[in-house]
Amino acid sequence: MSAYLVLASANILADTVIFATFARKKNVMREILNPWIGNHSGYNCFGCNPTNPMGMQMHFFWDDEKQNIISVWRANKNFVSWIDTLHGGIQASLLDEICGWVVFYKLQTSGVTAKMEMRYRKQILTTWPYITLQAKLEEQRRNIAIVKGKILNPNEEVCAECTCTYFIFDSEKSKEMGYLPALLGDKEFTKEDIIEQMLAQIRKPRKPEDFISLQNF
């Protein structure tokens, strides 16, 4: 009887070790490389051009396990509405941008926003070190794509969320509109890596062109 108990205890311990190992495993992502940088003379997107001094300069990362895109972003004083509060229009722009990149990467085409529904849940402060955006394809019906996005505070609480409906182009129209394939970089990042690079930029400012990609960090 005692031998069975010892064996059972050993199996439980082994399962616990395996579970703890998986629990400690950090999710890794790969950067979605911006294909328009240096390849389109008219490119100066307010959302994703890292060298646009007036823009949001967003970077995007693909999480293959969760099948979604994330972006870690920090506001500055140019995006304030009320004191220390991120403007609601900027929140909508951030979400529209990341949801659009779901179309670019996941569906490998381009399109236009047909409808966007916003829900503001909590105040977003511009004094926070960062916020996290997430977006995921929910449904595709022929040339219509439904993408859902959300903004989370540093405590992982949802502060705003959206449902975007996109009219997506066929390959011929997409190419005509200037679409270029969105590819992944080779380097893997955890969310902590991305946050650290952002904080490093605050501690020791670099030129915007240094942040075209995180592949060299």
Give the model confidence (pLDDT) of 110-145 as tens digits. Answer: 999 999 999 999 999 999 999 999 999 999 999 999
Is residue 45 very low, low, confident or very high in pLDDT (cuts 50, 70, 90)?
very high
For the chain, the average pLDDT equals 86
pTM: 0.83
Name the token pair of 63: 């999480």
Edge-to-edge strand ranges of the sheet holding 158-168: 111-120, 158-168, 144-152, 131-141, 68-73, 61-63, 28-32, 184-190
Q: State yes or no: pLDDT of 46 exceeds 80.
A: yes
Q: Which residue intervals of the chain are DSSP H helices?
A: 2-24, 88-106, 171-176, 191-203
User: Is pLDDT of 216 > 80?
Assistant: no
Backbone angles phi, psi at 71, to 5 degrees: -140, 135
pLDDT at position 7: 40
Task: Give pLDDT, residue 107.
Answer: 96
In one letter, which amino acid is 161? E
- Predicted confidence at residue 187, as pLDDT, reads 94
Q: What is the mean pLDDT of residues 209-214?
A: 58
Residue ranges and CATH numbers for the domains of the chain are: 28-211 (3.10.129.10)
Q: Is 185 exposed, middle or buried (0-12, 13-18, 19+ CB in 10 A)?
A: middle
85-94: pLDDT as tens digits: 999 999 999 9
**How do residues 52-107 score in pLDDT, each as one tens digit?**
999 999 999 999 999 999 999 999 999 999 999 999 999 999 999 999 999 999 99
User: What single string gives the DSSP state of each residue in 114-170?
Assistant: EEEEEEE-S--BTTSS-EEEEEEEEEEETTEEEEEEEEE-TT--EEEEEEEEEEEPP
Tokens encoding 152? 């989370």
